[in-house]
A and B are shown apart, each in its own frame.
Chain A
Amino acid sequence: DTGVSQNPRHKITKRGQNVTFRCDPISEHNRLYWYRQTLGQGPEFLTYFQNEAQLEKSRLLSDRFSAERPKGSFSTLEIQRTEQGDSAMYLCASSLGDSVLYNEQFFGPGTRLTVL
């Protein structure tokens, strides 16, 4: 399978615990994105990497959130001291190219986080 993969698919945790999610993009894609989606809403942008550089972070990304893409391949998203409001689907997407105009993003299946 050459699509975007995410692990784990589901995570249930208790409030206050730390969680880490992993995303493996399509192998030749240089751009990687994290989004958060709550029920009935469209995805909301969290952060964006070009190769290993984190170029943009949303204001949604509080200090408890950190993302890395150490070698420009896979990425991790960590949430520290989880809160019930963090419960959501976390989507990863990747894309290829330098063009600003056309930037089709390929999404992974997501990690569904439930904070009890």
Chain B
Amino acid sequence: GQNIDQPTEMTATEGAIVQINCTYQTSGFNGLFWYQQHAGEAPTFLSYNVLDGLEEKGRFSSFLSRSKGYSYLLLKELQMKDSASYLCAAPGGNYGQNFVFGPGTRLSVLP
């Protein structure tokens, strides 16, 4: 089965850099996803890693180490609107089609 863990809460200052870690244990591996979810809204896709290394996309980057079962999401030049929950997810289930989500990391960006 899958088990995904991430910190529950983090706080950072506007303009700073924050790293949100995710550790996972999966019976198979088909990539790791990061989603952003603002309070009361649907999750929206941020990034996908299937190979080791860093994927950069504007202010957001995501890193994966398959051997360590570890990923992180890096947010640069934080803005107030980045205050949200960040969900780490991996495909799971019998067909590898549904997501197993971590508990989410609630990030608060302070002025």
Interface set of A (CB-CB < 8 Å, partner B): 4, 31, 33, 35, 40-45, 48, 50, 55-56, 58, 91, 100-110
Please tell me if the beta carbons of B103 and A42 are within 8 angstroms of each other in the complex: yes
* B72-103 vs A, Cβ < 8 Å mask (1 yes, 0 no): 00000000000000010101111111111111
Q: Which residues of B contact A (CB under 8 A)?
A: 4, 8, 30-31, 33, 35, 41-45, 48, 50, 87, 89, 91-104, 106
* Interfacial chain A residues near B94, Cβ < 8 Å: 55-56
Report the number of A-B residue pairs with Cβ-Cβ less than 8 Å: 75
User: How close is B103's CB to chain A, nearest CB, in angstroms?
Assistant: 5
CA distance A98 to B95 in the complex (A): 11
* A41-B103, A42-B87, A101-B30 as given contacts; A107 in contact with B93, CB under 8 Å: no
Q: List 7 A-B pairs, minimum CB-CB distance, nearest first.
A: A42-B101, A107-B42, A45-B98, A42-B104, A107-B43, A100-B96, A48-B98
